Homo-oligomer: A and B are copies of this chain.
């Protein structure tokens, strides 16, 4: 047997961060492009854009900044607040997963039953 969990962060009862949302933000940061991040996530551009706006609205902070035109036709990147949120969530998740395994062993005794 093994323990599993799905984690997320809410603000005022509204979903802010989840594995899915943070993966989207990570892809935007890595590719510098919302369009490319959407493709990597298997999302339409419109849906990815809407998701980012929803996260920002629920959090009350701007997470992505977009430059228009210029070299490469502009692009998107995380704001300092966006990067901080991603890093905090990833740290939180990694620790929570580690704890989960430890608590499973403590409670179920690490046996196969």
Contacts and interface: CB of A to CB of B under 8 A. Distances in A.
Interface of A: 1-11, 16, 61, 81, 88-89, 91-92, 95-96, 99-100, 103-104, 106-109, 113
Given A96-B99, A99-B99, A108-B88, A1 B10 contact: yes
A8 B10 contact: no
B107 A95 contact: yes
A10 B6 contact: no
A78 to B, nearest CB: 15
Contacts of A92: 3, 103-104, 106-108
A100 to B, nearest CB: 6
A4 B7 contact: yes
